[in-house]
Structure 1
Amino acid sequence: MTVKVSHTAEVQNLFKEASGLNNEQGSPRLKQLTLRIISDLAKIIEDLEVSDDEFWTAVDYFNRLGGRNEAGLLVAGLGLEHFLDLLQDAKDAQIGLSGGTPRTIEGPLYVAGAPLAEGQVRMDDGSEDGVATVMFLEGVVRDTDGQPVSGAVVDLWHANTLGNYSYFDKSQSDYNLRRRIVTDAEGRYRARSIVPSGYGCSPDGPTQECLDQLGRHGQRPAHIHFFISAPGHRHLTTQINLAGEQYLWDDFAYATRDGLIGDIQFIENAAAARDRGIDGSRFATLEFNFELQKAPAPVAEQRSARPRALQQV
């Protein structure tokens, strides 16, 4: 028979004290959240009969998770980041907001301050010339009335051919495969880059350790991340997963959504490659257009205040 004490006055008073509810200092919101979290954890411990060994194994796991900076990876892998998108979708539907390119997860690998440019920009530093397939990416940013949005900032980032991101991968140059592009008068953005690779969680990391215990893989399809912002329009956080990828609809991070599939085209044509300034005959093209909602309030023009990596100076 399971012994339950979390409902007793003694334990409830303990948790209120631990949450700071018996003093006037600190954050009332954090106190509210802390009380709910520790109370719910206590119920889980009781209801599922969590042993001391299981409890302290979990504590050790979270220590190791933080030590590897993988908390953001795990919340994506457990579907929690996707849940936040689904929750916001439901809130939008409730107040009648519709249209626009679907949102999807940001992931933990954004770095602020990428170079800002107008017109076509080259995103890669040339370090994978002869290995990577050159990719020409372009599209138009429009509003929900179909009108082009001039002066929008398309902030995009993606992995290299090894599935690694600059800043986190110290072998890459600063801001490799990261750029901010200002749309032209027709709302168009253009970039020359390379076809990114899909990738998986570090096989020796705590996120993959958890996924192994759940019987799940930790793989992602090749994809490109986007922040898109413009005055008067709602900030969009999204990404496009590339068509034809093995894990397109089996993304461990649950980022693939209808309307966010990039139909990449691979071309073998030496003359066309030469016209585009490419050695060899193979390159890829990808066109993807975005639609921005009008901002219901000024705060909606800004991305979330989620802590993110800052480029080292």
Structure 2
Amino acid sequence: MTVQIFKTNEVQDFLKLASGLTQKGGNPRTKTIIHRILSDLFKAIEDLDITSDEYWAGVAYLNQLGAQSEAGLLSPGLGLDRYFDMRMDAEDAALGLTNGTPRAIEGPLYVAGAPVVHGFTRLDDGSDTAGKTLIMHGTVFGADGKPVSNASVEVWHANTKGFYSHFDPTGEQKAFNMRRTIMTDAQGRYKFQSILPMGYGCPPDGPTQALLNQLGRHGNRPAHIHFFVTADGHRKLTTQINIDGDPLVNDDFAYATRDGLVPPVVEHTDEASIKEHGLSGPFCEIKFDMTLSPLVNGSDNQIVERPRLAA
């Protein structure tokens, strides 16, 4: 039998008590957020007739999610990261701002402190021999359409097994493999040599995939490359490209595929191109220019502070 008690004075007063609204101490913002979350949860329990068994299964799930450090993986999988991007896009539209390069989710696998290089670098250390050689390059443009010199282009991606350095369960990758911070040259250009990455899937026996199974969804991502781009006088750009031709390019469990973020991959086998880039065999090329957006009233109104691994 479903009972309706949520709107009673007793329950509403209890929600205020539980969220600290009746107390003088504490943080007002935290109280407001917790009151709303508790209210929504109480209402969901009533509307959906959630049982005690179901509730405690949820508590056990949250414990498992935390124990396996997968909260940052489930977040994009449930579309929360994409929703924040949608809100920021809407804020830009309301301000009349246009982003030259679309933003895209950061993901959970960034590591601060990657070696800094200028203009050109090689990201991979050559140990992953299964990967196709990749040359990727482009120009960073400012909000005025002019190239930006000395812009910081942080780039990171997975190997051909879908693993990132610092998070590789095989232990095969050295620190900062396939991670660098490239400072653009005087013409605003960046360039790197690496290998074409592969996509990855959620750990098949982990809590994120367990929930996705309940939703009838897969937990796989297409191959992609992440970027942070920063420059004086501009907002930080968080974005990523998907590798064109990947079968999941339009079926990303993390919802990070966006128009303008799937540049073509050109395969080169001719001797002239190979020689031009100082290589010894065929390679793939991706050209991807990025355009930054201006500060809002002198500040970055959409900078995201979140816990990140540093090494």
Q: For the structure 1 residues 41 and 146, does the alpha-carbon distance in structure 2 shift closer, same or farther, using more than 3 Å as the test?
A: same
Q: Which residue of 2 aligns with 1:40?
A: 40
Compute the displacement of 1:275 (Å).
5.2
Q: Which residue of 2 aligns with 1:87?
A: 87
The 3-state SS of whatever aligns with 1:295 is coil
Q: Deviations over 1:52-85 (max 9, x none)?
A: 1111111111111111111111110111110111
Q: Which residue of 2 aligns with 1:135?
A: 134
Q: Which residue of 2 aligns with 1:20?
A: 20
Unaligned runs of 5+ in 1: none
Q: Deviations over 1:109-131 (max 9, x none)?
A: 11111111102111112211x32
Identity of aligned residues (%): 52
The one-letter code matched in structure 2 to 1:226 is F
The one-letter code matched in structure 2 to 1:29 is R
TM-score by length of 2: 0.95
Q: Which residue of 1 aligns with 2:264?
A: 263
Q: Which residue of 2 aligns with 1:188?
A: 189
Q: Which residue of 2 aligns with 1:234?
A: 235
The one-letter code matched in structure 2 to 1:220 is R
The one-letter code matched in structure 1 to 2:29 is R
Q: For the structure 1 residues 37 and 302, does the alpha-carbon distance in structure 2 shift closer, same or farther, using more than 3 Å as the test?
A: closer
In 1, Cα distance between equivalents of 2:188 and 2:211:
43
The 3-state SS of whatever aligns with 1:217 is coil
Is 1:245 the counterpart of 2:251? The answer is: no
The 3-state SS of whatever aligns with 1:117 is strand
Compute the displacement of 1:8 (Å).
1.9
The one-letter code matched in structure 2 to 1:251 is D
Q: For the structure 1 residues 298 and 115, does the alpha-carbon distance in structure 2 shift closer, same or farther, using more than 3 Å as the test?
A: farther
TM-score by length of 1: 0.95
Compute the displacement of 1:145 (Å).
3.0
CA contact (8 A) 1:230 1:301 kept: no
Q: Which residue of 1 aligns with 2:178?
A: 177
In 2, Cα distance between equivalents of 1:214 and 1:302:
31
Q: Which residue of 1 aligns with 2:118?
A: 118
Compute the displacement of 1:270 (Å).
5.3
Q: Deviations over 1:149-191 (max 9, x none)?
A: 1111001100011000011114311111111011111110011
Q: For the structure 1 residues 299 and 146, does the alpha-carbon distance in structure 2 shift closer, same or farther, using more than 3 Å as the test?
A: closer
In 2, Cα distance between equivalents of 1:274 and 1:148:
27
In 1, Cα distance between equivalents of 2:229 and 2:223:
20
Q: For the structure 1 residues 114 and 297, does the alpha-carbon distance in structure 2 shift closer, same or farther, using more than 3 Å as the test?
A: farther
The 3-state SS of whatever aligns with 1:151 is coil
Q: Which residue of 2 aligns with 1:290?
A: 290
In 1, Cα distance between equivalents of 2:263 and 2:163:
20
Is 1:65 the counterpart of 2:65? The answer is: yes
The one-letter code matched in structure 1 to 2:159 is N
Q: Which residue of 2 aligns with 1:204?
A: 205
The one-letter code matched in structure 1 to 2:41 is L
Is 1:106 the counterpart of 2:106? The answer is: yes
In 2, Cα distance between equivalents of 1:302 and 1:189:
24
In 1, Cα distance between equivalents of 2:131 and 2:259:
28
Compute the displacement of 1:134 (Å).
1.3
Unaligned runs of 5+ in 2: none
The 3-state SS of whatever aligns with 2:291 is strand
The 3-state SS of whatever aligns with 2:186 is coil
In 2, Cα distance between equivalents of 1:221 and 1:79:
16
RMSD: 1.5
Instruction: State the number of aligned residues.
Output: 309
In 2, Cα distance between equivalents of 1:38 and 1:101:
38
The one-letter code matched in structure 1 to 2:184 is T
Stretch deviating more after TM superposition (258-267 or 109-118): 258-267
CA contact (8 A) 1:229 1:301 kept: no
Q: Which residue of 2 aligns with 1:214?
A: 215
Compute the displacement of 1:222 (Å).
0.6
